[in-house]
Amino acid sequence: MKSGYGYSFKWEPIIATVSGKTAPITAMYTTVQNGYATLPEFNYSTVSSKYRTLQVVSGSLQFKTNTAASGARLHFIPVWFPNGTQNYTASAYAYDCWTPAGMISAKANSNSINIVGSLYDDWYIGRD
């Protein structure tokens, strides 16, 4: 993928019980209610405005709508991100899954993206 373009993110966290244990009834716990994604261009920082908030959409965590992308749920890789970068990976954290014993949270990494070129490779000035 070229830098300067956007990608989507979708994570469907599930609640599973440990083998041999009794599963609680659904009224005893909530599903995941919040999440955020940290990004390599911000060194995976959790400082305000250095991460992307995830929104629950039909049981999955996705990027919030992006007004710069006509409302699509995209995050744009910065154009300055180095060409040849291997393994551009977002890291997501899901939380606010409440049980009688407390809150459950989980962390997962996205699939890796290899950066090959930039959007400038697709733009040129020419004459007819």
pLDDT tens figures, 59-108? 999 999 999 999 999 999 999 999 999 999 999 999 999 988 899 999 99
Q: Is the pLDDT of residue 124 over 80?
A: no
Residue 125 in tokens? 């000035």
pLDDT tens figures, 38-72? 999 999 999 999 999 999 999 999 999 999 999 99
CA distance 35 to 25: 24
Contacts of 89 (CB under 8 A, 6+ apart): 40, 109, 110, 111, 112, 113
Q: Tell me the chain's radius of gyration from C-alpha atoms.
A: 18
pLDDT tens figures, 12-36? 988 888 888 887 787 888 999 999 9
